[in-house]
Amino acid sequence: METKVKGEERMKTLVCLQILSIGLSTVTFLLQWRKKQIKQ
């Protein structure tokens, strides 16, 4: 029983980390894009 809960928690943590990294790369991309737009 406990191992199942631990596994689910680990999955949730992995999903959260994935979402965070995707969000970070998106923000970085948008910032780079805005800098390019301002330069033009």
- Dump pLDDT digits (tens) for 1-40: 677 889 999 999 999 999 999 999 999 999 999 999 988 7
Angle at alpha carbon of residue 26, lines to 37 and 17, rounded to 5°: 165
The verdict on pTM exceeding 0.85 is: no
Give pLDDT, residue 38.
86
Give pLDDT, residue 34.
94
Give pLDDT, residue 1.
63
End-to-end alpha carbon distance in the chain: 59
Element housing 36 (H / E): helix 2-39
Give pLDDT, residue 9.
94
Angle at alpha carbon of residue 39, lines to 36 and 40, rounded to 5°: 90
